[in-house]
Amino acid sequence: MKLKIKDIAIASGGPLIAVMNSKDAAMFDIHVMDRIKIKKGKIIETVVVDIAQSKKVVPKGRLGVFEEVIRSLNLKNNDIVDIAIARKPLSIDYIKKKLDGQRLSKEEINQIVWDIVHNKLSAVEMTYFVAACYTNVMTTEETILLTKAMVEHGDVLKLNKYPVVDKHSIGGIPGNRTTLVVVPIIAVAGYYIPKTSSRSITSAAGTADTMEVLADVTFPIKKMKEIVLKTRGCIVWGGALNLAPADDKIIAVERPLEIDAESQLLASIMAKKHSVSSTHILIDVPVNKDSKVKNRVEALKLKKEFEKIGKKLKKHIKVLITDGRQPIGNGIGPALEARDVLWVLKRDPRRPIDLEKKCLMMCANIFSMVGLKEGYKKALSILNSGKAYQKMVEIIKAQNGKEIAAEDIKIGKYSYDVLSAKSGRIIDIDNVLVSRIARIAGAPHDKGAGIYLYNHIGSKVKKKEKLFTIYSESRHEFEYAKDMAKSSKVFIIR
C-alpha cells in the first residue's frame, strides 16, 4: 500500500506515531495502537498507528506523521511511502508477563529498555510497564538488571579517576538545595564530583532550575567532562545528556499519576550515578507524611535495597535518613534558592542555618566514605575560608556564567506578606502547600517567583508577624497565589 505523507507538525516527545485515515485503516484492518512499517527507499521504520475519523485531519490516501517520524525517515511533505502491517514489539509480551506477577530475565528487561530508548513503545505501553512494576515489585536482581540495562543503552561519562563522589536526594522537600553547596566543598577538598541534576516535576524548583539562575546547565557529555576535569565539579541538567535515557522516558509516564515504583526509583538513581562513573554515593532520604518516603520503616527498607544494589554494582553507598517535615532553607523558587546558596557560601548573616548544617553534615558523611576523619570540621573550614565560594565561582564561569552578588539576583516584582493570625509556636509546615503556592506564583518557569520563609518549625511568632512572602513576576499569577495563601493553612501555630 502506498500513501502520500502529510506532515501534521506535532511532536510526541518520544514515541514514533503515524495517523491513518479511518477508511484506509479499515481497508487493511488496522486499529488504534497497531504497528505499521513505513518504507522510504531503503529505510524502514516501525511506528504506532492512530486513526483520524475526519478527512480534514488526514484525508484518504494520506499518512499523517509526527515530527519524530519525519526526522527518523528524513521525510518531506507529499513524499510517497510504502506501508505494511508490522507485529508489535517483543517487549509487549514481557510487560504482560510482569503484569501477571512473573519475574523477568536479563534478556527480557534488556529488550524492554531497548524498545523504550528507541521509541518503539507508546506512552500507554510504557505506563503499563510502570504499573506492572508498581503492583508487582521487582526483585533486587531484577532491579539490578534494570539498572544495568538503563546504563548500557546510553552514554557513560568516563573520567578514569578514583574516587568519583556523587550525591542524590530522592526529593519531595521544598528548598533543600544542598548540591550547590556540597559540590564546591567536595571539589575544594580535591575530589571529583560530576553532579547531574533534574528540573522540577512537581516542586517549585529542581537543582538544575536553581543552578540555571547562575550559569548554563545544558551541555553535551564531552563538554561536561571538560568542565569536571578542569574544576573537579559541575552541576548540569541530566535531561540534556544521553545518560540512562530510558529513565527520562519512564519518569515522563510516571508523572500524571505520580507513580513512583520502588524498583524504578532505585534503578533510576543508581543508573544515573553509574553512568557518570561514581564510586562513592551519598543518598539523602527525607522522611515525612508528605514526602515520597512516609515513615522510618519505609526508609530503612529503601536503605537496605540501595546498599544491596550498590554492593552488586561495586559502589560505596551511604544512605542518610533525614527529617523531611519542613522546607530546607528559606527561599523556595529558583532565584530565591540561588540567593540562599550564595549567602551560605559567602558566610552572609542572612544565610539559612538549617541549609548550611545539612550541607556540612552531608559533606562530613562523604569525607567519612573516602577515609577522611573530622569531616564536619574540614567542611566548615573550607566554607569559612571562602574557598568553597571561589570554587563555585570557578564552576559557574566554566558553565558560561559569571559571578553575581546575591543581592543582584532578580526577584519577582510583585510581593505579598503572609502574617500570623495569632501568637504561638509553629508546630507544622505543609510542604505540599508551600510548593503549590510557589508554583502558582510562577515558579519554576519564572525564575524570580516563589516564597521566602521567615520562620520554621519550633519558632515562636507573634500575631501579625511575617511568616512568609510570596514573590511573582506576573500580576495574574500573583493574585492567584495570594488568594491561595489566604485560604490555606501553610503554618500550624499553637
Q: Catalytic site residues? A: 260
- How many helices (H) and strands (E) the chain has is answered by 18, 18
Orientation of helix 375-385 relative to helix 353-369, angle to 10°: 130
The Cα–Cα gap between 38 and 355 comes to 55
The Cα–Cα gap between 413 and 478 comes to 10
Tell me which residue of 292, 338, 302 sits closest to 177, measured CA to CA: 338
Cβ-contact 364, 339 below 8 angstroms: no
Cβ-contact 328, 175 below 8 angstroms: yes
Tell me which residue of 30, 81, 73 sits closest to 52, measured CA to CA: 30
Cβ-contact 271, 263 below 8 angstroms: no
Cell of 322: 533525614
Cβ-contact 233, 195 below 8 angstroms: yes
- DSSP category for residue 199: P
What pairing do the DSSP bridges indicate for beta strands 424-429 and 193-197? unpaired
| Secondary structure class of 489 (helix, strand, coil) | coil
As a dihedral over the C-alpha atoms of residue 225, residue 227, residue 233, residue 234, rounded to 10 degrees, the angle is -90
Tell me which residue of 432, 466, 435 sits closest to 450, measured CA to CA: 435
- The terminus-to-terminus CA distance of the chain in angstroms comes to 74
> Which residue is associated with the grid cell 512568609?
468
- DSSP category for residue 88: P
Tell me which residue of 221, 263, 261 sits closest to 242, measured CA to CA: 221
The Cα–Cα gap between 235 and 241 comes to 12
